[in-house]
Structure formats: C-alpha cells, structure tokens
Amino acid sequence: MNKMVKGAIATGVGVILLAGGGGTLATWNQANTASMGSVVAGDLNLAAGAGVWTNAAGTAIPKIADYKVVPGDTLTYTQPLTVTLTGNLMTAKLAVTGASAASGFGDNAVVSATTLTNSKNGKVLADTVLVPADSGVVTASTTFTFKKSTTSTDATKATVDLSGIGYKLEQQAPVSSNNQ
C-alpha cells in the first residue's frame, strides 16, 4: 500500500473513534420549571351612571330638556360614578373637568362647582388619593341656582349648557415606579 492509502485508512479509523467517543458526553443532568406563576394586571375604570335632576321642591325632573326654570328655583344634578381600582400599588385621584358658567343667564344664575362624595372619605377632593378599598360609588352633585333677586323679565328663555362638565380618574405613579 502506498502512503496515500495508509493515510486514508488512518483518518477513517480516527473518525470512527471520535464517533464512538460521543457517547461518553451523556453525563447526569436534570431540568425543572421556574414556577413563577402569572403576572396579572390590575384595573382602573370610571363609569358614569344616569344622572337625576331635582328642582327646589325636591321633585325629580324626568327630562331636563322639557323643564323650564324660573327665578327662585334651584336645580340639583346628582350622578353616581362607579370607580374601580384594582392593583396592589394602585392609587388614583378623581377630579372634575371642565365647567359651564351660567353665561346665558348673566348674573342672575350660578352653577356651583361640582362636588364628589363617597361613603368612606366624605368629600372626594381633587387631591384625595383613592385606593382599591375606595372602589365603589362616588356621588357627583352640581347645582344650578336661578337667583330670586332676578328682576323685570331678565333671563327669560335663557339657556346654559352643562355638557362641558366631566370627570377624570387618573392613576398616580407608585412611589417606587419605573421610568419606562
């Protein structure tokens, strides 16, 4: 045999030895799961219920569009807001947004600032921090006062649009919050 054939045979034997040696790599090993569980997000929600208008006599007004107010009358709009706060570090603030001045009535009427109250805190102010335990109903109340001091026939047929008033529930950043 010439040297070329001898070399080829030696190489083949070496490769076979390497393939046979592969079995020696299967040493003891074991796998396991992390058992981290699931990460569940909390919740923040604000739902405005049906509001109710009542007049100075305490009588409910079925449809405000059909009701005409006169000097001396005070209309109160009461609306339930359902606040949902879920999360271990969840905190939020509820605030009134927008405003409607009684511009159509001039100085003869006043629209009060909307107040928010709940059974736990009493008044819910703009800086009141709400926690998940505060979830539930917050009552919003706005009054329209047509002054009894109105004279002559001032402000007859006047109108004021109160649709600009709204509410905003806004989460507050946890103390140790990230910056992302």
- Rounded CA gap, 103 and 160, in Å? 7
Q: Does 159 bind other proteins (CB under 8 A)?
A: yes
- Rounded CA gap, 155 and 71, in Å? 9
Instruction: Return the amino acid letter for 27.
Output: T
In the complex with other proteins, the residue whose CB is nearer, 75 or 124, is 75
87 Ramachandran zone, left/alpha/beta (phi>0; psi -120 to 50): left
Considering only 13, 47, 125, 129, the residue that binds other proteins (CB under 8 A) is 47
Minimum Å distance from CB 56 to other proteins? 7
54 token code pair: 């009542």
- Rounded CA gap, 13 and 19, in Å? 10
Site map (CB under 8 A) of other proteins, residues 55-94, x = contact:
xxx-x-x--xxxxxxxxxx-x-x-x-x----------x--
Residues at the contact surface with other proteins, assessed by CB under 8 A: 44-48, 51, 53, 55-57, 59, 61, 64-73, 75, 77, 79, 81, 92, 97, 102, 104-105, 114, 140, 142, 144, 146, 153, 155-163, 165-173, 177-180
